[in-house]
């Protein structure tokens, strides 16, 4: 028997489907509760990570520096890992329990501080009853300077302020407020 001739196939057909374009999810574009800057940064990082846009084009369009982009990318990836990693069971219950313990500890602290405040107020009231009002200084301390050539400010007085004044009985004329001499 003769072997059957092989049938030549045209080009090898791809066994996979053709890739279709993946649009940005509507929930991400229209999320009202999210900050607009955070949404734009998320879309920036996802478009670069998906290969849709090169890093150089993305940072040029966004107007940010290359180190800032890589910092954002690192933060985004670590947040994704934390969010998508296996969570310990009953983590919300454990967190609620720890928060309840903290609230109880804070309530105890408030109660203790209120007690201390009442004690301090009572002590102040008793002290006010016992201590009579009076002068706050004993009058002792540094003696005052008696030098007539010095003033409170420490400067020498002007010659006009140290000039002896003559009384009208001395026969000198005194000046009035307007500056005119009186007889």
What does the block give as tokens for 65? 């520096």
3-state SS string for 21-80: CCCCCHHHHCCCCCCHHHHHHHHHHHHHHCCCCCHHHHHHHHCCCHHHHHHHHHHHHHHH
What does the block give as tokens for 96? 């609620």
What does the block give as tokens for 141? 């301390």
pLDDT digits (tens, 9 = 90+) for 36-82: 788 888 899 999 999 999 999 999 999 999 999 999 999 999 988 88
What does the block give as tokens for 31? 């999320």
pLDDT digits (tens, 9 = 90+) for 97-132: 889 999 999 999 999 999 999 999 999 999 988 988
pTM above 0.85, yes or no: no
- In the numeric block, the tokens 């290359």 are attached to 66
Report d(CA 147, CA 65) in Å as an integer: 73
């Amino acid at each position: 028997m003769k072997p059957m001739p092989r049938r030549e196939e045209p080009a090898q057909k791809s066994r996979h489907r053709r890739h279709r374009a993946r649009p940005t999810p509507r929930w991400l574009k229209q999320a009202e509760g999210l900050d607009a800057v955070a949404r734009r940064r998320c879309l920036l990082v996802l478009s670069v990570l998906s290969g849709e846009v090169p890093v150089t084009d993305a940072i040029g369009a966004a107007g940010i520096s290359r180190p800032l982009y890589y910092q954002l990318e690192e933060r985004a990836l670590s947040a994704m890992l934390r969010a998508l990693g296996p969570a310990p069971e009953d983590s919300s219950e454990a967190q609620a329990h720890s928060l309840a313990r903290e609230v109880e500890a804070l309530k105890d602290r408030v109660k203790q501080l209120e007690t201390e405040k009442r004690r301090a107020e009572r002590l102040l009231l008793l002290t006010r009853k016992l201590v009579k009002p009076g002068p706050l200084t004993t009058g002792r301390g540094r003696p005052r300077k008696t030098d007539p050539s010095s003033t409170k400010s420490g400067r020498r007085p002007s010659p006009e302020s140290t000039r002896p004044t003559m009384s009208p009985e001395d026969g000198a004329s005194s000046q009035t407020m307007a500056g005119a001499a009186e007889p």
